[in-house]
Structure 1
Amino acid sequence: MTHATVIGAGVAGLCAATELIARGCEVTVFDPEDQPGRHQCSWWAGGMLAPFCEGETAEEPVVRLGQEAAGWWAAQGVHVKSDGTLVLALGRDRREIDRFARRTEGHTRLDSAALADLEPDLAGRFDRALYMTGEAHIDPRAALVHLRDRLERDGVRFVAETGEAEGLTFDCRGLAARDALPDLRGVKGEMAVLHSDEIRLSRPVRLLHPRYPLYIVPRDGGRFMLGATQIESDDRRRSVRSALELLSAAYALHPAFGEAELIEIGVDARPAFPDNLPRLVRRGDTIHVNGLFRHGFLLAPALARMAAEMALDGSKPEFTHEDHG
C-alpha cells in the first residue's frame, strides 16, 4: 500500500487526503490543531461554488474546472445548495450589470417581476438582475469539519506535531510554504457575519459596484456571510474601512441589514501566485499543492484530483510545474 503524507489540513489538504484515500493510499495528515478553525485561511471563505461568476475576472481553467466542485462536495456528503447566484447592481451602477453579462456566461436576465418571484424580500428594490442558474454554495466551516471527520472514520491519521514525512508528500501549507515557493504572495480578504430575522435570501447575491463589490451568502439560522475585499497584502489586521464598506453595501442591498446583529468580523490572507492560478510543483517525492487564491472551495477538488493523478499515475496534469532545483 502506498503511504502518503499531507502537510496542512485546510481545504487543499483535506481534499488531497480525500482523493488519496479514494485511490487506496494510507494517509497521514500533519496539522497543529485537532479541529478545523480560525487558524486556517479556509475558515474565512464564502463557500460559493460560482465558476461562471468568477469568469468575470478569472482565467478559463477556473470556470471549466470549477464546474466539478458542486458534484465533488455533494459526493463527499457535504450539503450543497444548488440554487444559483443572483447578480444585482444599484440604480446608479446599472451599467455594471451589462458589463458583467458581457464577461460571463451561464446567466439568465431577470426583470423586476422575475426577481421578486425568485427572492421575494428583494421585491421592488431592483429592476433587473442576472441569474447564474448553474451555481451552488456550501457552508465552508461545516464542510471542513465534515471532511475531517469522514477522513478520520476512513482511517486517516491526523498528527499534531510535524514529524518526518513518510512516502509521497503533499505540501498544502498555503502561505506558510513561502519558504519553498518564494513567488507566493498574500491576498488579504475580510468578511463579516450578520444575523437577521427580518430578511430571507435563498441564494448568494453579488452586488456589483465599481469600487467595492459585495457578496452575501445566506447561512442557516438567519445568518449571512458578507465578503468582498481583495487587498494585495498578507496583513491580517481587521480594518475599519473595509468593515464600513462591507456593512454599507449590505445596507444598500436591503435596509434590514442596518438592524442586523454583527456576529463576527474576520480576516486572513489567501495564497496566490502571480497569475492567480494554482500550481502543482513537484520536487522529488514532494508535490506542492498551492495558490488557490480566492477559489479555495471551488478549485481544491480538481487540484487534489490532479495531484493524486500526478503522484500515483505518473501523469502531468494541468497546473504542473516541475522544479528540479
Structure 2
Amino acid sequence: MISVLGAGVAGFCAATALAERGLPVEVIEPEDAPDPASRLAGGMLAPFCEGETAPETVVQMGLGAADWWEAHGADVTRRGTLVVAPARDAAELGRFARATRGHDWADPGDLEPDLAGRFARGLFFSSEAHMDPRAALARLRDRLVARGVRFHPGPAAGRIVDCTGMAAAAHLPDLRAVRGEMLALYAPDVAITRTVRLLHPRFPCYIVPRGGGHYMVGATMVESARPGPVTARAVMELLSAAYAVHPGFAEAEVTETGAGLRPAFADNIPAIRRTGGRIHLNGMYRHGFLAAPALAEALAEELQQELAPCVSS
C-alpha cells in the first residue's frame, strides 16, 4: 500500500498517477488538517508566462499540464493569456517579452472587446489555458473514489508519499512559506473571457474568469510565514490593479478573500525529495497546477519500477 498524505493538488495528482498504474493507494486526510493552499490558486496553466521568473525546468514541467488536466476530467478553457500594462509602464511589456517565449504582439481590444481603447498593445500567449482549480480537484477526487481509492484520516498503512506542503517543514528544513492573497469578485458588468495579466513594477496581478461574471484576482507574493486573513493592503492593491484593467471592477462584489502559505524550496522549483523514510512531493510555490501532474507522473513511474516485483507476486 502507498499512503499519500495530503489532499491538495500535489496529493491528488500523485494518488491519481499511482492508481492509474495499478498500484494500491490510499489518501490520508487528517481531520484537523488546514485547507491546502491550492484551493486558493488561480488555476492558470501558463508555462510560458511563468517563464518570466521561473527557470526552463518549470516551463518544461508545465507544457503538458493543460492536456493532463483535460484528460482527467477538468473543464479546461484554452483561450490563451493576455498580458497588458498601463501606458506609464509600457516598458514592462518589452521586458516581459524578452523574458518569455510563445507569444505574439496583439491589440488587446481585438481579443477582449471590453478592453478596447484601454491598452495600446499586449502580449498574447495563445497556447495557454486556465481552469477552476477547486472543480478540477473535485473531479480528481471523484475519479479516485470511483477507482476504489480510500480516503480516511489515518493512520497511514503503507509507504508514505508526503504531499502536505508546509506541514512537512519538519522533514524538509529548506522549505519556506511564501504568503499569497487573493480575491474573488462578482462583476457582471465586465466581460473578460481569458486570463489577463497586468504588469506593474510594484503589484502585478492576474484576473482569471470563472464564468457568469465571476473572477479570481491574485495574487500577492510575500516572503512571510504569517498565517491569518487577507490584509487591507492586499485588498486595496488587488482591487486597484483590477480597476486598472477594467473600471467595471469598481462596482464588483467581493465574494471571497483568501490567504495561504505556499510551500517553496530555495530555488522555487517543485521537486521530489526522499528523506527520513518518506518520499516528498513538495515545493509547489506558485506552480502547483502547472507542475504537479508532471512530477506525479515521474514519481509514479519510479515507484512502479521499484514495486513491480512486489505487485506481480
TM-score by length of 2: 0.95
Q: What SS is found at the alignment partner of 1:18? A: helix
Q: Distance in 1 between matches of 2:270 and 2:194?
A: 27
How far the C-alpha of 1:65 sits from its partner, in A, is 1.3
Alignment partner for residue 11 of structure 2, among 10, 13, 20?
Answer: 13
Query: Are 2:188 and 1:190 aligned?
Result: no
Q: What SS is found at the alignment partner of 2:220? A: coil
Aligned to 2:38: 42
Q: What SS is found at the alignment partner of 2:212? A: helix
Aligned to 2:225: 234
Which amino acid in the other structure matches residue 177 of structure 1?
A: A
Show CA shifts across 1:205-258 (max 9, x none): 000000000100000221000002100012123211111000011111111000
Which segments of structure 1 move beyond 6 Å, counting only runs of 4 or more?
none
1:164–1:193 CA distance, 2 compared to 1 (3 A): closer
Alignment partner for residue 129 of structure 1, among 91, 97, 122?
Answer: 122
Matches within 5 A, 1:1-325: 3-33=1-31, 39-111=35-107, 115-160=108-153, 162-166=154-158, 168-237=159-228, 238-283=230-275, 286-314=278-306
How far the C-alpha of 1:117 sits from its partner, in A, is 2.3
Which amino acid in the other structure matches residue 278 of structure 2?
A: T
Q: Distance in 2 between matches of 1:124 and 1:183?
A: 47
Which amino acid in the other structure matches residue 2 of structure 2?
A: A
1:179–1:284 CA distance, 2 compared to 1 (3 A): closer
Q: Could you tell which deviates more after superposition, 180-189 or 276-285?
A: 276-285
Show CA shifts across 1:270-304 (max 9, x none): 00000101121124752111001000000000011
User: 5+ unaligned residues in a row in structure 2: which ranges?
Assistant: 308-313
Q: Distance in 2 between matches of 1:33 and 1:220?
A: 32
Which amino acid in the other structure matches residue 79 of structure 1?
A: D
User: 5+ unaligned residues in a row in structure 1: which ranges?
Assistant: 316-325
Which amino acid in the other structure matches residue 103 of structure 1?
A: A
Which amino acid in the other structure matches residue 27 of structure 2?
A: V
Q: What SS is found at the alignment partner of 2:118? A: coil
Which amino acid in the other structure matches residue 31 of structure 1?
A: E
Q: What SS is found at the alignment partner of 1:264? A: strand
Matched-pair contact (CA < 8 Å) for 1:86–1:132: yes
TM-score by length of 1: 0.91
